[in-house]
Chains A and B, each alone.
Chain A
């Protein structure tokens, strides 16, 4: 079986100049290797500034990596035309607030995505959008809504709708829940789990929240300073972390959990 997404030796170098006095800082992400099958979830976690966001952007093609290859169902994503890639790998960002244009209705955002990536006509587009909205737990009427009429959770749903409206193979989500509060977060998690089950998408999921990571992921990848320091199936990594940093991360998380249970 061909994996949906295969990343080989991906390296991206980010140059930052913090001020004119200082030399250019280089931040190297990678090399990153992983394989992801349909219906699987890969969780990426790590310290702040460890390059998770950069990796996500490299995956969807927002930035071009210097080395390595991304294979989508065995075909090189860089070489296949842009449309296919857009179609198959979709991005969800952390701040739903910034991922929705305040001046444009939900319908026209989604419509544009369809217009650019499918051959559907106006009527079909509308139907598709309404279907998708219902699928992510919104109403048909939300077609005409502007951002400020939606709550945070609803906005995140719209982001999700935007990602899945093209029936992609992979969705890359960069901290999609960080800005949500617990009860809404649970709603969204449930929704994603449902959709994944239903459509069999692969998920690349970036999060700091180890509780959720552990709950929804099949594979975990831990990054530090741009390097992948540990990767493996979720169970192995959580049960038996190898790397120092990983251990610390997991320990500190579980020490909190333990403290919680100590109280009872």
Chain B
């Protein structure tokens, strides 16, 4: 076990190191001024340029620069955005929780809808209900997420007028920023109409969450359904039946566990899809998350922001993925060679 842990930590460190190297070298690869790409500051004069170059050790060897870069990353000095001149750490600490909040809810929704639906479909497969489930999953898996979001907006916001179509909460509610998770912040906030604000935030959450969750739900359904079908067809289920165990006993003690085991690594794989979808959906719903932020940054050619944004998001995803893979590997005795399930 320790061995496994060490191996995964090793892998994580290696991957993060590579990501840092990539983000560092991006400053040189991106078009424009390396100094600006690294610091985000556009030097107004030659003297200022020289001074800044000294600060960022651009006059020294590349290794010194890299070391300085890592030091800065660790100390939280991530430079400033070249378009707004605000500290990137600050911007990201506001934007990133918004995204995490969104994908967390989306993931929860897809888990709580997708997995049970998949199970029901898988157990009673080739029945009308299962047919419905499969159709639902194939169709929703085929939706381009941006189009789906637009359809949602058209139906629920514009036609029916039930739900708002942009932002996290009505801007008139001045929610102080503490954790970055809006629902949590509202609960902590000291404002007069807390309840209304909370309701409002919830209403704002519904459409973006649903847009992201639909695709993931479809994947979960397909995967769970296939997994449970495969497991319930395996010999040991028949063997257990022949031993006279009750259906419940068989399902919960054997089938469920074995079919859930491969779903965990699938969940890890979904994080990347979720983030990609979240980035698109955020721009449509003007959700002030990291995806929207990075996409705005690319529109404005704000290279320092892109660099750091990419680093933060990918480190987050990679860390999470590796952790989940480690957990699934650790709790699954049967897989000496772990395999990702195919969707």
A–B contact (CB under 8 angstroms): yes
Least CB separation from B333: chain A residue: A19
Residues of chain A at the chain B interface (Cβ within 8 Å): 20
CA distance A115 to B1 in the complex (A): 48
CB of B191 within 8 Å of the partner chain: no
Cβ proximity bits B1-23 to A, threshold 8 Å, 1 near / 0 not: 10110000000000000000000
Q: A20 to chain B: which residues have CB within 8 Å?
A: 1, 3-4
CA distance A215 to B4 in the complex (A): 51
Q: B4 to chain A: which residues have CB within 8 Å?
A: 20
Q: B1 to chain A: which residues have CB within 8 Å?
A: 20
Where chain B touches its partner, the secondary structure class is helix
CB distance from A25 to the nearest CB of B (A): 16
Total interface residues in chain B, CB < 8 Å: 3
Least CB separation from B2: chain A residue: A20
CB distance from B268 to the nearest CB of A (A): 22
Least CB separation from A21: chain B residue: B1
Q: List 3 A-B contacts (CB under 8 A).
A: A20-B1, A20-B3, A20-B4
CA distance A187 to B4 in the complex (A): 51
CB distance from A24 to the nearest CB of B (A): 14
Q: B3 to chain A: which residues have CB within 8 Å?
A: 20
Interchain residue pairs A-B with the least CB separation, the first 3: A20-B3, A20-B4, A20-B1
CA distance A20 to B3 in the complex (A): 7
Cβ proximity bits B311-338 to A, threshold 8 Å, 1 near / 0 not: 0000000000000000000000000000
CB distance from B17 to the nearest CB of A (A): 25
Least CB separation from B4: chain A residue: A20
Chain B contacts with A in 52-78, Cβ cutoff 8 A: none
Least CB separation from B7: chain A residue: A20
CA distance A20 to B4 in the complex (A): 9
CA distance A20 to B1 in the complex (A): 7
CA distance A204 to B1 in the complex (A): 43
CB distance from A22 to the nearest CB of B (A): 12
CB distance from B188 to the nearest CB of A (A): 45
CB distance from A114 to the nearest CB of B (A): 35
CB distance from B172 to the nearest CB of A (A): 59
Least CB separation from A20: chain B residue: B3
CA distance A9 to B154 in the complex (A): 82
CA distance A43 to B4 in the complex (A): 44
Least CB separation from B3: chain A residue: A20
Least CB separation from A19: chain B residue: B336
CB distance from A18 to the nearest CB of B (A): 10
CA distance A6 to B3 in the complex (A): 45
CA distance A10 to B1 in the complex (A): 37
CB distance from A138 to the nearest CB of B (A): 33
